[in-house]
Amino acid sequence: MKKLFFIFAFYFSLFISHNSLSQWLPLNSGCAVNLNKIQFVNSQTGWAGGFQGLPTQYILIKTTNAGANWVSQIGNFPTGNRILSLCFADVNTGYIAGAEGVYKTTNGGNNYTTLPVVTMSCIDIFFINSLTGWVSTVTGISELYKTINGGANWTSQLFSSYSNSRYSYLRFVNSNTGWCVNDSIFKTTNGGANWSRQILPVIPFHSFLSVYAVSPDTAWITGTEGIILSTVNGGTNWILKYLGNSYGVLSSYFLNSNTGYLTTNGSAIYKTTNNGTNWLLQLNDTSTILNSIYFTSKDTGYACGSGGKIYKTINGGTIGIRKINSGIPDRFYLFQNYPNPFNPSTNIKYQIIKNNVVTLKVYDLLSREIATLVNEFQKAGTYETQFSINSIANNRLPSGVYFYKLKSGDFSETKIMLLIK
């Protein structure tokens, strides 16, 4: 028995814990139309656009005060156009892709002009600067078009060898390297002059819905049925993971190789801090399909979706870390969670005696990380946070023993908690 105790104690010392309650707060967008895409060019200025229904209702809105107010620009936009994607290079220059073509503004959206690209439906658009960009089309033979002069001229980048595939979603990390995905994955390393099809893991029937890259080596692709693919070697190998449910993952945004966010048609926002090993549920608005997500800093982000909904966070989506005493404690200490046993949530209190980076994580009996509740710099004091099984991506934690561990500098402590369903 004593030996078993020390084995458990050894494993406990390996763990740290952190779970996140959500702080995504709704903004007043001033519209009720489905928003397909949101993007900011700085901390204050951003756009969102979309359409819905028959007859078509379409919307294009702009904020210049970090989402506090949104002003419609649809009166400045050619009538009858269904907005599917948008990409702004700066506060003045932006491009809109829609079912009727591509449009450009050079004055922040005061007016838009039609560009001389194809008239077929354009589903996604991406510019790496004000002059160089690509647009994907989905009507007839699937093509990409590229411009290097701000849309004055476009060059077709036809996927002639793979003309049965629909090339829809784009992401470039520089003028040379980018990906284009729908039911297959294609990569270019020469600005789109040539594209190569990359080898996929075996996946049942699927369709890819977004692609995001932070470097020529590191990228993620999401799709239907909760599919998440990641690569750290430029796509030579793709690792397949699932979100844990059957919802489509509609968009993604990564701050770096470890920290990223997803939105789903299951009305949710998820966050990872370990390159997708674990995903934590941050928001679950069952009335909204969340189509797009964008961050202006490591803490400030926006998500938009159906019904004109826009959500904003200013702390990376995390809430529930509450400082309950500013006095400097006489020792480090991790309190026993309460209630314990618990279902579905429990509170965890701890105290630290020095200003330092603090982490708090939850693990199962097999030493697998379940959640990260705290991962930030904190001043000395007493804090409290909450762990809820509802924040776990697949919401399927079984009853049993779990561990939570606090680490701050050289101090670490682990305790046991019991989930009973």
Query: Are 357 and 287 contained in the same domain?
Result: no
What is the signed CA dihedral for 231, 203, 244, 138, rounded to 10 degrees? 80
Under 8 Å CB-to-CB from 54, ≥6 apart: which residues? none
Whether 135 is in a domain gets the answer: yes
Whether 40 is in a domain gets the answer: yes
Query: Are 104 and 248 contained in the same domain?
Result: yes
Cβ contact 48:67 at 8 Å: no
Query: Where do the H-state alpha helices sit in 99-169?
Result: none
**How many angstroms separate the CA atoms of 107 and 259, rounded?**
34
Tens of pLDDT, residue by residue, the chain (421 residues): 333 333 333 332 322 233 334 578 899 999 999 999 999 999 999 999 998 876 678 899 999 999 999 999 988 777 767 888 999 999 999 999 988 889 999 999 999 998 887 666 888 999 999 999 999 887 555 678 999 999 999 988 865 455 455 558 999 999 999 999 988 899 999 999 998 999 888 887 778 999 999 999 999 999 998 899 999 999 999 999 888 777 899 999 999 999 999 999 878 899 888 888 888 888 887 788 999 999 999 999 999 999 999 999 988 887 667 788 888 999 999 999 999 999 988 999 999 999 999 999 999 999 988 888 888 889 999 999 988 887 675 557 899 999 999 999 999 999 999 999 8
Query: Are 184 and 301 contained in the same domain?
Result: yes
Query: Are 145 and 202 contained in the same domain?
Result: yes
Query: Are 227 and 311 contained in the same domain?
Result: yes
**How many angstroms separate the CA atoms of 394 and 372, rounded?**
15
Which of 281, 316, 351 is the last residue in one of the domains? 316
Query: Are 308 and 325 contained in the same domain?
Result: no
Whether 3 is in a domain gets the answer: no
Strand ranges, E, within 91-224: 94-98, 101-105, 113-114, 122-127, 133-137, 143-147, 155-158, 169-172, 178-181, 185-188, 196-197, 208-213, 219-223
**How many angstroms separate the CA atoms of 412 and 147, rounded?**
55
- Domain count for the chain, please give it: 2
Query: Are 125 and 146 contained in the same domain?
Result: yes
Looking at residue 357, which CATH number applies to its domain? 2.60.40.1930
Using CB atoms within 10 Å of the CB of residue 165, give its burial: 0 to 12 exposed, 13 to 18 middle, 19+ buried: middle
**What are the phi and psi torsion angles at 370 (to 5°)?**
-100, -40
Whether 198 is in a domain gets the answer: yes
Q: pTM for the full model?
A: 0.78
Cβ contact 301:292 at 8 Å: no
What letters, b where the CB count within 10 A reaches 16 and e where it falls short, cover 134-159? Answer: bbbbbeeebbbbbbeebbeebeebeb
Looking at residue 230, which CATH number applies to its domain? 2.130.10.10
Query: Are 201 and 241 contained in the same domain?
Result: yes
